[in-house]
Structure 1
Amino acid sequence: MFDQSPYICRVEWGKRGAREADERGDIIIIVDVLSFSSTVVTALHYGAIIYPYPPNLDGKDFAETIGAEYILGRAEAAKVSMPTLSPVSFNEEHVNKKYVLSSLNGAFCTWIASKVPALLIGSLLNASSVAVVANKLRLQTNANITVVPCGEQWSHGLEFEDNLRPSMEDYLGAGAILSNLEGDKSPEAEVCIGAFHYSKNKINELIWDCGSGRELRERGFETDVKHCSRLNVYQTVPLLKKDHFVSAD
């Protein structure tokens, strides 16, 4: 299959896209707007230490071995006032505390691509800043850059069907980042940038009413949707260092 290899800046979807970029040795930017990426960016902004972990492995045991708290689901954690996958659950109280964060999309893609020269976490919240860091790393390493919007997972799929559901919010987040990257861009990346430029003046409304946004709102997490839809409010850029994120900036 032909790929985007003639170009410096590329966009690939989901776990397969993360694996392809990992095998090429690209700089990777993981984008999961609702909510893994936004949660990691917000948590590091407040000084928390986040360990990404795939949901198919026992994150609780891993958390115990490193002296960290395992992040529970939104509803369960809210009952005991613990931080969750909800980005707004993090604040100044969590500085220097360790947390293990699992998710079906962002954490899984991070785990798959953890051996690349540099893995960054991008969202709307830090779109410009993560691009600045990626541009500097490309000059240092001479590696290409792949932005990986993670998408969502279809539920109740049939055996012969794909599970990946491309998500509008991740595509717009990827476009926001790609628009600030330097170097030749693939046609796929150019179209992604075009979608962002077309939507950026109403991005809050679009994410509020998209499928993922409605799902979170119906579960009572309207504040998450509003928070994750904001553009360039943080300069924090999470960089994977061995098994946890540090602030690249």
Structure 2
Amino acid sequence: MFAQNGFDCKVEWGKRGAREAAERGDITIIVDVLSFSSTVVTAASMGAILYPFPPPINDAALAYAESIGAELMLGRAEAVRTGTPSLSPLSFGPQHQSNRFVLCSLNGAACTRIAAEVPALLVGCLLNATAVANQANRLQKLTGAAITVVACGEHWRDPQANENELRPAIEDYLGAGAILSKLTGSKSPEALVCLGAFQQAAPRLSELIWDCGSGRELRDSGFADDVRHCARLDVFDVVPLLNVDHFTLITH
């Protein structure tokens, strides 16, 4: 009843939104700016091979990583101590080319797993907004499928039993809007409002993400450079595409 039917381009939120996109059979773009999508895009640009895995980071995730000959990425704080890559995009560099990593993420990886069976699942963020939109436009022409941009959002800490745990996050909404601004098909009212939010915010994009709730959380945890990195627009011309269980790099 509440679907955005009849439009080429739509926007949804969180895991339920990923399921809606999957059930429609849409080309799906996963947007988790701070930081799953930005980490996947940055790592892919360095030649790393990432395998998304639903949270938490536990024995099952470790066993999966071992079964495919990959390294299980640790949490940010622990990875800083060990000097290994993590959900921090700046933890990746050229030395990680061709290395395999399993990436657990409460939002981005979970949404990716839910929407894994769509015709094409792409990873987008501010860093590759134009590139991922161009790729989605190309795939839409080839397949005729609609496009759904999924803003993953965050989770409230300690939600009560009768509360929805999804916390809409402006960084993901702005990332989705940046991508929608480059998509060529007809857009739902929800997509148009998201696009408009990006257009209004564009002159102050880095400032707004720096000072939003998610940005402050990362800064307070010692990852201010991650916030600066993830708030940049169109830095990379690469698009990660889910290939069964890992991301394949698409270049232009």
2:2 corresponds to:
2
* CA offset digits 1:31-58 (Å, max 9, x no partner): 0000000000000000000000001472
Distance 1:132 1:192 in 2: 18
What RMSD in Å do the two structures reach over aligned CA positions?
Answer: 0.7
Distance 1:189 1:23 in 2: 19
2:153 corresponds to:
151
Distance 1:247 1:180 in 2: 20
2:109 corresponds to:
107
Percent identity between matched residues is 61
2:243 corresponds to:
241
Q: Is 1:63 aligned with 2:58?
A: no
Distance 2:78 2:61 in 1: 16
Q: Flag structure 1 segments of 5+ consecutive residues without an equivalent.
A: none
* CA offset digits 1:141-165 (Å, max 9, x no partner): 1100000000000011110100000
1:216 corresponds to:
218
Q: How far apart are 1:2 and its partner, in Å?
A: 2.2
1:48 corresponds to:
48
1:76 corresponds to:
78
- Quick one: which amino acid aligns to residue 71 of structure 1? M
* CA offset digits 1:172-218 (Å, max 9, x no partner): 00000000001100000000000000001110000000000000000
- Structure 1's consecutive aligned runs of 4 or more residues displaced over 3 angstroms after TM superposition are none
- SS of residue in 2 equivalent to 1:132: helix
Q: Flag structure 2 segments of 5+ consecutive residues without an equivalent.
A: none
- Quick one: which amino acid aligns to residue 245 of structure 1? F
Distance 1:21 1:34 in 2: 22
- Quick one: which amino acid aligns to residue 205 of structure 1? E
Length-normalised TM-score, structure 2: 0.98
Length-normalised TM-score, structure 1: 0.99
Q: How far apart are 1:3 and its partner, in Å?
A: 1.2
Distance 1:246 1:177 in 2: 20
2:31 corresponds to:
31
What pairs with 1:186-197 in structure 2 (closer than 5 Å)?
186-197=188-199
Distance 1:94 1:2 in 2: 44
Q: Is 1:170 aligned with 2:167?
A: no
